[in-house]
Amino acid sequence: MIGRLNGILVEKQPPEILLEVSGVGYEVQMPMTCFYDLPKVGENAIVYTHFVVREDAQLLFGFNNKTERALFRELLKANGVGPKLGLAILSGMSAQQFVSCVNNEDATSLVKLPGVGKKTAERLVLEMKDRLKDWGNDLFTPFSDSAVIEPHSDTLVANNAAAALVALGYKLPQAQKAVKSVSKPDMSTEVLIKESLKSML
């Protein structure tokens, strides 16, 4: 299993990155809450990974630290949660926020995430509460609110942000509406995605 990658960040196209390690490029999908903390393209990055093998694909999911990855793995154990839904959940809220929702039995906040209906949210709270009861704030590494990438045209940034939201499970009209509602000149793609996700919660 591939558990950790240390290499040069070649591409950033939310929610996927291309990381070059010893001449091999690894495509890694990351939750947006992890994406915000990535360095600039061309710089070194360390990503903790979870490897998923299916009949039709081999997928790598990446995280900034072992705690985020551990939570993703716990999510995959929950009934009805696959890698795509796990990625969407941890894109809509940080690992720390998710643990807080579960511990506070806050299913209402979970319902706002793409792909999570009322029954799924209630089941997540029920199934995850025992597993996450010992997860305190000291387990988490704070993530930065700032994201810096090379500037692009505002239209391209908006299109990329909407595409990333669709990849995370939102419908295109919903994604475009959210992007449009928070878009400001000279926003980076990551910041626009982050603000769009906030506006839908």
Q: What percentage of the chain's residues is helix, strand, coil (to nearest 5)?
A: 45, 20, 35
Task: In the chain, count H helices and then E strands.
Answer: 9, 5
Q: Is residue 60 over pLDDT 70? A: yes
Q: Is residue 149 over pLDDT 70? A: no
The fraction of the chain above a pLDDT of 70, given in percent, is 91
Residue 149 near residue 188 (C-beta atoms within 8 A): yes
Considering the segment(s) 154-199 as one domain, its CATH architecture is Orthogonal Bundle (1.10)
Q: Is residue 133 over pLDDT 80? A: no
**According to the model, what pLDDT value does residue 131 have?**
84
The residues of the chain that CATH labels 1.10.150.20 are 66-139
The mean per-residue pLDDT over the stretch 29-38 comes to 91
**According to the model, what pLDDT value does residue 114 have?**
83
Residue 168 near residue 32 (C-beta atoms within 8 A): yes
The residues of the chain that CATH labels 2.40.50.140 are 4-63
**According to the model, what pLDDT value does residue 153 have?**
66
CATH class of this structure's domain 66-139: mainly alpha
Q: 4-63 adopts what CATH topology?
A: OB fold (Dihydrolipoamide Acetyltransferase, E2P) (2.40.50)
Alpha carbon distance 73, 62 (integer Å): 12
Residue 127 near residue 78 (C-beta atoms within 8 A): yes
Alpha carbon distance 72, 69 (integer Å): 5
Residue 6 near residue 14 (C-beta atoms within 8 A): no
**According to the model, what pLDDT value does residue 162 have?**
86
Amino acid letter, 179: V
Alpha carbon distance 190, 182 (integer Å): 13
The mean per-residue pLDDT over the stretch 105-110 comes to 90
162-174 residue pLDDT tens: 888 888 888 888 8
Alpha carbon distance 88, 187 (integer Å): 22
